[in-house]
Amino acid sequence: MTQNVIDKYLEKHGFGTLAPKAVLFDMDGVLFDSMPNHARSWSKVCTEFGLEMSTEEAYIHEGRTGEATINILARRHWGREATHEEIERIYEEKCRLFNACAEAPKMPGAEQVLAQAKAAGLRLLVVTGSGQQSLLERLELGYPGYFTFERIVSSKDVEHGKPSPEPYLLGLERAGVKPWEAIVVENAPLGVRSAVAAQIFTIAVNTGPLPGEALVSEGADLLFPSMSALADAGLFREIGDV
Ligand code: CA
């Protein structure tokens, strides 16, 4: 990582040093190539309930909690917030559709990134806007031995999901580190906004269809075109060598 990038980060937040001890990973679109399934399920279920949304728009809302996404659409299409019951029915149906999709593959390159970070002695956490059951099960199946229950922040743990900084602030707390002692890996504009608001050094990986500028304009400190490119850069190996 070039000193120039680090200096910019330190200046932006008024910190004196960047000394990473933990990496906070987003899940969908970072660890799993699951965004196409999510975007299709969201678009289909919302349209069924009279809340028409394109798959492209689903990528723009990526990272929000289900409730927040449904309410944005409800205000647009119904002129009011959705009721608790409506949110529950729509989200349940969305999860049903998502679970019926062919299982999302692991994101190419993600395992190498995790292995590099673990070997560098960094604590690994997951901070996700998802509230689906069996998060740990999925993580354990895909990436055995990397994450524990206490090191997963899901939408069930926070009042305000991304783009609020709350999920990443809770991630810092669970990692037992300060903002300048962590690094975030995110793929969604709203996720980047959340991490930057929590004052954490943010690596964006553009694994979806939006332009990279959508991530940079939210304040990402570094941008990679894929998790494989991040793995090839060997960034976490470099940190371990410090
Ligand atoms: Ca994501």
pLDDT of 83 reads 98
Of 227, 182, 178, 181, residue with least CA distance to 204 = 227
Confidence check: pLDDT of 175 > 70: yes
Query: How far, in Å, is the centroid of ligand 1 from the Cα of 147?
Result: 17
Q: Residue 240's pLDDT is what?
A: 63
Please state the φ and ψ torsions of residue 119, each to the nearest 5 degrees: -65, -25
Q: What is the pLDDT of residues 55-78, one digit of tens each?
A: 999 999 998 889 999 999 999 999
- Residue 137, pLDDT score: 83
Give residue 133's pLDDT. 64
Asked if the domains at 3-34+107-241 and 35-100 fall in one CATH topology, the answer is: no
Distance CA 83, CA 23 (A): 37
Q: How far is the CA of 64 from the centre of ligand 1 (A)?
A: 9
Taking the model in full, what pTM does it have? 0.92
Domain at 35-100, CATH homologous superfamily: Putative phosphatase; domain 2 (1.10.150.240)
CA of 75 to the centre of ligand 1 (A): 24
- Ligand 1 centroid to Cα of residue 98, in Å, is 15
- Per-residue pLDDT of 18-29, as tens digits, reads 999 999 999 999
Give the per-residue pLDDT at 107. Answer: 97
Angstrom distances, CA of residue 207 to CA of 24, 108, 114, 215, 239? 17, 10, 17, 11, 24
Check residue 241 and give its pLDDT. 60
CA of 153 to the centre of ligand 1 (A): 13
In CATH, what number does 3-34+107-241 get?
Answer: 3.40.50.1000
Q: What spacing in Å lies between the alpha carbon of 1 and ligand 1's midpoint?
A: 23
| Helical spans, DSSP H, in 80-219 | 84-100, 110-119, 135-142, 166-175, 189-197, 213-216
**Which of 3-17, 96-110, 133-147 is predicted with the least confidence, judged by mean pLDDT?**
133-147
What is the pLDDT averaged over residues 102-129? 95
Quote the pLDDT of residue 242: 53
The CA 239 to ligand 1 mean position distance, Å, reads: 24
Structure token digits, residue 107: 């994101």
Q: Rounded distance, CA 171 to CA 134, Å?
A: 19
Diameter of the chain by CA atoms?
55
Average of per-residue pLDDT values in the chain: 94
pLDDT band at 84 (very low <50, low <70, confident <90, very high): very high
User: How is residue 131 written in tokens?
Assistant: 């509230």
The dihedral built from the CA positions of residue 98, 99, 100 and 103, taken in this order, carries a sign that is positive
Spans of all domains in the chain: 3-34+107-241, 35-100
pLDDT tier at 40, thresholds 50, 70, 90: very high
User: Which pLDDT tens digit goes with each residue over 200-217?
Assistant: 999 999 999 999 999 999
- The single residue listed with the structure tokens 């059951």 is 133
* 23: three-class secondary structure by DSSP: strand
Burial annotation 173-205 (CB, 10 A radius, 16+ → b, else e): ebbebebbbbbbbbbbbbbbbbbbbbbbbbbbb
Share of the chain above pLDDT 70, in %: 98
Contact between 101 and 94 under an 8 Å Cβ cutoff? The reply is no
What are residue 222's DSSP bridge partners? 203
